[in-house]
């Protein structure tokens, strides 16, 4: 049995297959996922699991060099933005329009759907290297 915190087999597989500059997204229950992007659906009910719970879990295993957040998050969900900033520390953030974020999902290895129901609780994680 795995000793690391990520025990979901699909999430673990995707992280293991990530290369430098590959992207993985985590988002709220309402984010539309393009047909060609793998969706790992963790949503059980409203709020379960939360966006932050899943983000923290993924960050325990994935080396991230940059994150992308929706510009709209600044005004529409400032508490969630603060929590993300606290969790990612010095990792650079690029803010993009929410519509652009939806388009960028076409290039993701996968999208992890949570039960989160707060606006703009979506993130794109850009993989870094550990060496």
Q: What is the pLDDT of residues 80-92, one digit of tens each?
A: 999 999 999 999 9
* Residue 64 DSSP one-character state: E
Contact between residue 110 and residue 39 where contact means Cβ atoms under 8 Å apart = yes
Q: What is the pLDDT of residues 17-69, one digit of tens each?
A: 999 999 999 999 999 999 999 999 999 999 999 999 999 999 999 999 999 99
Contact between residue 109 and residue 33 where contact means Cβ atoms under 8 Å apart = no
CA distances from 36 to 33, 51, 72, 78, 99 (A): 8, 22, 25, 31, 17
Is 68 annotated in some ligand binding site? no
Write down the pTM of the prediction.
0.97
Is 98 annotated in some ligand binding site? yes
Catalytic annotation, residues:
20
CATH class of 21-127: alpha beta
Q: Per-domain residue ranges for the chain?
A: 21-127
């Amino acid at each position: 049995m795995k000793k690391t915190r990520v025990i979901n087999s699909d999430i673990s597989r995707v992280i293991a297959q990530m290369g430098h500059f590959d992207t993985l997204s985590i988002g709220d229950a309402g984010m539309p996922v393009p047909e060609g992007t793998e969706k790992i659906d963790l949503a059980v009910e409203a709020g379960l699991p939360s966006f932050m719970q899943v983000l923290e879990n993924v960050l325990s295993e994935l080396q991230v060099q940059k994150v992308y957040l929706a510009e709209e998050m600044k005004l529409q969900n400032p508490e969630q933005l603060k929590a993300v900033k606290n969790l990612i520390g010095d990792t650079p953030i690029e803010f993009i329009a929410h519509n652009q974020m939806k388009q960028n999902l076409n290039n993701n290895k996968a999208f992890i759907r949570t039960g989160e129901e707060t606006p703009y609780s979506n993130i794109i994680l850009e993989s870094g290297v550990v060496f």
